Amino acid sequence: MTARLLSRLAGALLAASTLVACGLGTAGGFVPTGELAGPLQSVEPLDGASISVGSKNFSEALLLGKMAVILLRSAGADVTDLTNIPGSASARQAQLEGQVDLQWEYTGTAWIAYLGHEEPIPDERGQYEAVRDEDLRENGLVWLPPAPMNNTYGFAATSANAQRLGVASLSDIANIPVPERTFCVESEFANRNDGLQPMLETYGIPLGSGVPRENIRTLDTGAIYEATARGDCNFGEVFTTDGRIEALDLTVLEDDRKFFPIYNVAVVVREETLTENPQIAELFAPVSRKLTDETLIELNGRIDVDGQEPAEVAYDWLVQEGFVE
């Protein structure tokens, strides 16, 4: 074994131990694999490459993370599965420190939460290129071409509540009585630069006056959908490609003042890793192009509504699309 491989192996073990020591329990578990097929058959094998894959800990991130694990292993790489890291900040830090070599990330999250900009770029291509260029220059992270999907934040109400209150957009919330302005959000969203407080200010209902603090309930991400469907709050924070929106008959309110950034997802790779293994770009390109809003809503629904495992859903879709056999 070469010194470089020994070093990478030690780094992978250190990453895993550090993540566990910091309470960042990762998914691990069995992940199916296969052989590259169809448009990926011509990709040069990654035999001998050692690559650690991370992800955040919500369904779509796990789905995409497992997809990356499957693709890289099917290409011959030795993959360390570090998916299921709690929180954007922890996942990002793991990659900045070199514990994670590759993970999917969202352009809006990077621009606002990681790179510290206050205003999103409304043009989809412009937002991606700005993130791509700054993150490479400042952090040595390479953003591969993004998927067409846009999993932005939104607020949803039950169809019955939306009709009862007469709300179709976020601006309409300012027209309803203050006691009806109740929100269910996750703790991370409550503290983000593109999260709850600036959103309320944008829509003229600032926290504390327009929306009393006691009107806010903080829940785990997965619990928000059910709580909103039960009527525990009138407006629940959602991801717009989540399969539970349709399954629970929720209505997403229009972001008519365009507060939320565009959140196209893309594979982000450490520059050193991509330089050593340039075929990674070719491996993910056709897969990314297939990831539309409609595709992610369906796949997320298989996890959150039907109860399937993210790795199972990822593998089945890759086989269905002819990328793996």
DSSP structural state of residue 113: I
Rg (CA), the chain: 20
What's the pLDDT tens digit per position in 84-120?
A: 999 899 999 999 999 999 999 999 999 999 999 988 8
Question: Which pair of tokens denotes residue 318?
Answer: 């890759």
Report pLDDT digits (tens) over 166-180.
999 999 999 999 999
| Residue 157 host element (H or E) | strand 153-158
Question: What number is the average pLDDT over the span 209-224?
Answer: 93
- Give the pLDDT confidence score for residue 2 in this predicted structure: 32
CATH topology of domain 162-253: D-Maltodextrin-Binding Protein; domain 2 (3.40.190)
Among 220, 215, 157, which residue's Cα sits nearest to residue 186?
A: 220
Measure the CA–CA gap between 165 and 138, rounded to whole angstroms.
47
- Report whether 260 contacts 108 (CB < 8 A): yes
47 — pLDDT class (breaks 50, 70, 90):
very high
Contact 260, 315 (CB under 8 A): no
pLDDT at 22: 37
The Cα 106–Cα 165 span in angstroms is 33
DSSP calls for 250-315: EEEPB-TT--SPP-BEEEEEEHHHHHH-THHHHHHHHHHHT--HHHHHHHHHHHHTT---HHHHHH
User: In CATH, what class is 38-150+264-321?
Assistant: alpha beta
Tell me what the pLDDT averaged over the chain comes to: 91
Query: CB under 8 Å to 278, separation ≥6 — which residues?
Result: none
> What pLDDT is stored for residue 142 in this prediction?
98
- Within the chain, all domains assigned CATH 3.40.190.120 are found at 162-253
Q: What is the pLDDT of residue 193?
A: 75
Q: CB–CB of 41/82 below 8 Å?
A: no
Two structure tokens written together for 216 = 């806010």
Identify whether the C-beta of residue 195 lies closer than 8 Å to the C-beta of residue 207. no
Name the percent of the chain lying above pLDDT 90.
84
Domain with CATH 3.40.190.10 in the chain: 38-150+264-321
Provide the whole-model pTM.
Answer: 0.80
CA dihedral 17, 192, 314, 83 (to 10 degrees): 0
Surface-to-core class of residue 254, CB atoms within 10 Å of its CB (0-12 exposed, 13-18 middle, 19+ buried): middle
Exposure string for 266-296, b = 16+ CB within 10 A, e = fewer: bbbbbeebbebbebbeebbeebbeebeeebb
Helix (H, G, I), strand (E, B) or coil at 105: strand
